[in-house]
Amino acid sequence: MFWLFTTVKFIHILLAIIAFGFNATYAIWITRAQRHPFVAIVLGYGIYTPTLSRQIRVLAKSGPESEAYRTLATRGTVVGITLAVLVLLILVLMVFKPTL
């Protein structure tokens, strides 16, 4: 009967160690995931919003055919695509949690 107790105790401790290992990696992913939204927010407020504001002003002043408007439109498109890719990367990291 002692062997049964020892076996169950061993399995219990082994599963506790495995569970703790999985939970410890969550802290790493939470830390990583918290950095990426900060980058997206800074990129959005620091670059995209001023670009959009300038683009609206140039559109009202010079029209959609002006070179300044086209430059700002291209910049806005590049920043928008970058933000979209960054948000998708955040989503993938948080959902799939690839191995370190």
- pLDDT, one tens digit per residue, over 43-86 is 888 888 999 999 999 999 999 999 999 999 999 999 999 888 88
Q: How far, CA to CA in Å, does 92 sit from each of 19, 33, 40, 88?
A: 23, 10, 15, 6
In this predicted structure, the answer to whether residue 24 has a pLDDT above a threshold of 60 is no
Q: Report yes or no on 45 lying in a domain.
A: yes
Is residue 2 assigned to a domain?
A: no
The band of 2, judged by pLDDT with boundaries at 50, 70 and 90, is confident
Domain presence at residue 5: no
Global pTM? 0.60
**Mean of pLDDT values over 35-50:** 82
9 part of a folded domain: no
Residue 15: band (very low, low, confident or very high) from pLDDT cuts 50, 70, 90: confident
User: What total number of domains does the chain contain?
Assistant: 1
| Residue 13 forms part of a structural domain | no
- The reply to whether 40 falls in a domain is yes
- Per the structure, the complete domain to which residue 92 belongs is given by 30-96
Pinpoint the alpha helices (H) of the chain: 2-43, 49-62, 67-96
